[in-house]
Amino acid sequence: GENVEQHPSTLSVQEGDSAVIKCTYSDSASNYFPWYKQELGKRPQLIIDIRSNVGEKKDQRIAVTLNKTAKHFSLHITETQPEDSAVYFCAANTNSNTGKLIFGQGTTLQVKP
């Protein structure tokens, strides 16, 4: 079946450094790739998304890149801050009609001050 693999499962960086989280997907028909941030005890919040008609999207310190040929996409956070510490989930849609998303396993990011 369809799946999304996410790496690494944990990531620790020093404040000010960059963080990169990578995901691969299996369904070649996937065309929508959101990223969610979930702080402890809180709801997942959409931080950025990308559609398959573009290769890169940026929003301030956050960027996402997509390689359709290789079926992988990555989240890049620059100038990390302690408040970036959270669990980050990538996802890919598998059915454009129903909005079904398959999520990665999550990456726990710790930004050390």
Partner 1 sequence: ETGVTQTPRHLVMGMTNKKSLKCEQHLGHNAMYWYKQSAKKPLELMFVYNFKEQTENNSVPSRFSPECPNSSHLFLHLHTLQPEDSALYLCASSQGQGVKPQHFGDGTRLSIL
How far apart are alpha carbons 102 and 41 in whole angstroms?
21
CB of 109 to partner 1, least distance (A): 17
Residue 38 contacts by C-beta under 8 Å, 6 or more apart in sequence? 44, 45, 86, 87, 88, 89, 106
Helices (H), the chain: none
74 touches partner 1 (CB under 8 A): no
Answer for which of 104, 107, 109, 111 binds partner 1 (CB under 8 A) is 104
Which residue lies nearer to partner 1 by CB, 80 or 93?
A: 93
Residue 30 contacts by C-beta under 8 Å, 6 or more apart in sequence? 2, 52, 71, 92, 93, 94
Which residue lies nearer to partner 1 by CB, 34 or 80?
A: 34
Answer for which of 93, 107, 109, 111 binds partner 1 (CB under 8 A) is 93
Which residue lies nearer to partner 1 by CB, 16 or 55?
A: 55
Residue with tokens 């009609």: 97
2 touches partner 1 (CB under 8 A): no
73 touches partner 1 (CB under 8 A): no
28 touches partner 1 (CB under 8 A): no
Question: 44 near 37, Cβ under 8 Å?
Answer: yes
